[in-house]
Amino acid sequence: MESERRQRLYRAEAVIIKRRDFGEADRLVTCFTREHGKLTLLAKGVRKITSRKAGHVELFTHARLLVAKGRTWDIITQAECIQPFLPLREDLGRTGYAYYAAELLDLLTQEQDPNPELFDLFLETLDRLGRAEEPRLPMRYFELHAMGLAGFQPELFVCLSCQQPIRPTQNYFHVGRGGVLCDACGPAANGARLISLPALKVLRYMQTRPYAELEFLRLRPAVHAELEEVLFQYLTYMLERAPKSVQFLRLVRERVNHGAAPAGTAGETRGETTPKE
């Protein structure tokens, strides 16, 4: 009996990315785990005031779980918080970015498909979103690298039409083809959009450098806006839907524009620093 019980239990290092109420006191929790990929688990009784597990399975919490196999859903029997990422709960702007990152992770992954590199990237992103003076950079870095780890890495160095190296001139980005077109091929390509040289340089730099080398970058609001638009259009095309949390982010920005700005949600006034290639 004891051996059978052990076979029904497994451990997982997880981050909580989504949840919904179930029944009178339970919750269904979507976790992204290092060992098993994305899982939907049942957390029994966590909505009760007396629950000991409730604080360990909050959104964006990094936790160790002990899980029992069940008929419909596997059941969380024990949970231990490793990192609660409290700064993400204390600032509305950072909360919005965390929701967006979690939704992207959910949309980019399938159930029970392990991707340890993506797990580590998501954990690092939650930490960066909580402490970065400018949360937009870690968000763009996550978008670009999460797409790469999910098999959707855009081509940023060679023209997808003529196969020639991209020159530092006016170039184009084509979401359908999955990357850049040169100044000669872009104008004739239906659906291609202009991409500025600063925005392209930042994308290329982000794609090929560790995040630690990006932290010095100080970008003009126009470049931030262009990076966000290009990557959002690409993500929406690849996912065949627009992430719902983007609307929440926009509402946060509208609120910020009429009051005090949380970090990373208003335009910067400092000088621009762009990468050298």
Please compute Rg for the chain using Cα positions. Answer: 21
What does pLDDT average to over the chain? 89
- Pair (43, 145) in one structural domain: no
pLDDT greater than 60 at residue 1? no
DSSP β-ladder status, 9-22 and 62-68 = antiparallel
Task: Output the domain CATH number for residue 173.
Answer: 1.20.1440.120
- Pair (109, 183) in one structural domain: yes
- Pair (38, 126) in one structural domain: no
Q: Contact 66/48 with Cβ under 8 angstroms?
A: no
What is the pLDDT, as a whole number, of residue 262?
40
Boundary-marking domain end, from 27, 61, 83 = 83
Q: What stretches of 106-206 adopt beta strand conformation (E)? A: 171-174, 179-181, 193-195
pTM summary value: 0.88
- Pair (197, 174) in one structural domain: yes
Beta-sheet strand order (sheet of 179-181): 179-181, 171-174, 193-195
Q: Contact 265/256 with Cβ under 8 angstroms?
A: yes
- Which of 39, 24, 46 lies closest to 69 in space, CA to CA? 39
* Residues facing residue 80 across a β-bridge: 64
Residue 274 binned pLDDT confidence (cut-offs 50, 70, 90):
low
Residue 220, domain member (yes or no): yes
Task: Output the domain CATH number for residue 68.
Answer: 2.40.50.140
Residue 132, domain member (yes or no): yes
Q: Contact 231/143 with Cβ under 8 angstroms?
A: yes
- Pair (96, 213) in one structural domain: yes
- Pair (62, 124) in one structural domain: no
- Pair (165, 247) in one structural domain: yes
Residue 218, domain member (yes or no): yes
- Pair (120, 249) in one structural domain: yes
Residue 186, domain member (yes or no): yes
- Residue 222: what residue type? A
Structure tokens, 150: 């999910």
- Residue 233: what residue type? Q
- Pair (77, 124) in one structural domain: no
* Residues facing residue 192 across a β-bridge: none
| Residues 179-238 pLDDT 10s | 999 999 999 999 999 999 999 999 999 999 999 999 888 899 999 999 999 999 999 999
Residue 215, domain member (yes or no): yes
pLDDT greater than 70 at residue 71? yes
pLDDT greater at residue 244 or residue 2: 244
Average pLDDT over residues 15-43: 95
The domain of 64 spans: 2-83
- d(Cα 72, Cα 56) in Å, to the nearest integer? 22
Per the structure, how many domains does the chain have?
2
- Pair (47, 160) in one structural domain: no
- Which of 66, 129, 81 lies closest to 102 in space, CA to CA? 129
What is the pLDDT, as a whole number, of residue 6?
57
Residue 275, domain member (yes or no): no
What is the pLDDT, as a whole number, of residue 29?
96
- Pair (166, 179) in one structural domain: yes
What is the pLDDT, as a whole number, of residue 183?
95
